[in-house]
Structure 1
Amino acid sequence: MKWFKSLTVAAMAIALVTSTVSVVGAASSLKGKIVINGSSALLPLTLQAANEFKKANPKVKISASAAGSITGPQSVRKGIADIGAVDWDASQDVPGFKKFEGQVAHKVAVIPFAAVVNKNVKVDNLTTKQLQDIFSGKVTNWKDVGGSDADIIVVNRAFGSGTRVNFQMKALQGTDFISKGNNYKEVKSSGDMKTAVETTPNAIGYMDLVYVTSNMKALQINGIAPTEANVINGTYKVWGFGYYMTKGQPDEVTKAFIEYIQSAKFQNGSLKKLKFIPISAIK
């Protein structure tokens, strides 16, 4: 009986190992190349997911770049990218941009956006009206919104940025931005915005939470902090879904990558660590 039990245990172990090898083999048999372009807000998520996916699928090559949301669906339309990362559903019309015909939107993340200031700014909270006045150029000194007597330096994203679209629609409620002046700067990416706000005294800008550092401060808006909990409970309104756009339905390898990002493992793991919010959290 003892030898029979030992044999049974051994057989089960062999079966488990065989099954595991089979699963790994099936995953690693996937091969191909994926080119991703678009949103700089989504770039940290894309790079993290690509690293994890390539470890499980070493025959898959993934290259990712970010030049602003609008370049994502544009690159897909031109056939130079398989995935266009964008901070709005580019298969639908949005203010300032027509829909991209024939493209399919795949929801991959919830992105909280925040108004941010250089760490020297003595303001912690702004109302919607104050934000509108600052970003439109009506208010130009921090003392007029409860801060020190200092000129406000407005840092804006260039046209075509999905972060800009979301911030203008949801934080500024559609109010136009100032577009020139001695105290105005315009940057091309989320990384550039981070650098500008960190290194420019009295600066104000906006970005998604993954880029916020200790050298800046994310402001409350109307007394509500830009946190995951406040996005989920509906009190903080400045957020949007992040999408991967494809030309029609994706091919096998691209589909597998998108499904990995949408999986519970990634959504509740690496995605949350990067300060994005799982798409399942928003009902």
Structure 2
Amino acid sequence: MKWFKSLSVAALAIAMVATSVSAAGAASSLKGKIVINGSSALLPLTLQAANEFKKLNPKVKISASAAGSITGPQSVRKGIADIGAVDWDASQDVPGFKKFDGQVAHKVAIIPFAAVVNKNVKVDDLSTKQLQDIFSGKVTNWKDVGGDDADIIVVNRAFGSGTRVNFQMKALQGTDFISKGNNYKEVKSSGDMKTAVETTPNAIGYIDLVYVTSNMKAMKINKVAPTEANVVNGTYKVWGYGYYMTKGEPNEVTKAFIEYIQSAKFQNGSLKKLKFIPISAVK
């Protein structure tokens, strides 16, 4: 009887190993190439997901670049990218941009955006009105909003940025940006914004939370901090969905990659560690 039980256990173990090998083989049989372009806000998520997906599917090649949200659907339309990463649904009209006909939007993350200042700035909280006045150029000195007597350096993203679209719509409620002046800088990407705010005393800009470092400060807006909890409970309003745009329905390998990012494992694991919020968190 003991011999029979041992044999049964051994047979079960062999069956489990065989099943695992078979499943691994099936997973690794996927092959192809995926080209991704667009949002720099979504780039950390894209790179992390690509790294994980390629380990599971070594026959899949993924290349990713980020030149701003608008370049995502533009690249898809031109046929030079399979996925366009965008900080808005590019299949719909949004202020400043017409929809991209024939493209399908796939939600991949919730992106919290924050007004950020250089660590030397002694202001911790700004109202919507104060943000509007600063970014439109009406208020030019930190002393006018409770800080030191120092000129405010406004750092803005170039037109075509999804972070810019979200910040203007949700933090500034549509108010126009200042566009020139000695105290105005314009940058092309989230990485450039990070560097500019970190290295420019008295600077203010805006960025998604994944890029916030100890050399800058994420501001409260109307006394509400830009945290995951406050996005989920509805008190912090400056956030948007991140999308992957495809020309029509994606092919097999692209679909598998998008579904991996949308999976509960990635959404509740690597995505949250990067300070994005799972798409299921907000109803």
- 1:142-189 alpha-carbon deviations (Å, 9 max, x no partner): 000000000000000000000000000000000000000000000000
Identity of aligned residues (%): 92
SS of residue matched to 2:245? strand
In 2: Cα distance, 1:94 partner to 1:25 partner = 44
**C-alpha distance in 1, partners of 2:72/2:4?**
61
Whether 1:47 aligns to 2:55 is no
Take 2:64 and 2:14, find their aligned partners in 1: how far apart are those partners?
40
Instruction: Quote the Cα distance in structure 1 between the aligned partners of 2:165 and 2:22.
Output: 46
| CA-to-aligned-CA distance 1:90-142 (integer Å, 9 cap, x gap) | 00000000000000000000000000000000000000000000000000000
C-alpha offsets along residues 68-99 of structure 1, whole Å, 9 cap, x if unaligned? 00000000000000000000000000000000
SS of the residue aligned with 1:21? helix
SS at match of 2:182: coil
Question: Equivalents in 1 of 2:62, 2:26: separation in Å?
Answer: 19
* Whole-angstrom distance in 2 between the partners of 1:111 and 1:156: 18
Q: What is the deviation of 1:18?
A: 0.6
Matches within 5 A, 1:246-257: 246-257=246-257
SS of aligned partner of 1:166: helix
The answer for the alignment partner of 1:181 in structure 2 is 181
Deviation of residue 246 (structure 1)?
A: 0.1
Counterpart Cα distance in 2 of 1:271 and 1:218:
20
Counterpart Cα distance in 1 of 2:47 and 2:280: 21
1:14 & 1:91 partners in 2: Cα distance? 50
The DSSP-based 3-state class of the residue aligned with 2:280 is: helix
CA RMSD in angstroms, aligned pairs only: 0.2
CA separation in 2, counterparts of 1:139 and 1:256? 49
After superposition, what is the alpha-carbon deviation per residue over 1:249-272, rounded to whole angstroms, capped at 9, x for unaligned? Answer: 000000000000000000000000
Q: CA deviation at 1:220?
A: 0.1
**What residue number does 1:196 align with?**
196
SS in 1 for 2:17: helix
- 1:231 CA drift (Å): 0.1
Runs of 4+ displaced beyond 4 Å: none
The aligned length equals 283
Runs of 5+ consecutive residues of structure 2 not aligned to the other structure: none
| Distance in structure 1 (CA, Å) of the matches to 2:277 and 2:219 | 19
CA drift of 1:3 comes to: 0.8
- List per-residue Cα deviations over 1:14-48 (Å, max 9, x = no partner): 11001100110010000000000000000000000
CA positional deviation for 1:204 = 0.1
TM-superposition CA deviations, 1:187-208 (whole Å, max 9, x none): 0000000000000000000000
TM-score of the superposed pair, with normalisation by structure 2: 1.00
- Distance in 1 separating the partners of 2:23 and 2:39: 33
* Unmatched 5+ stretches in structure 1: none
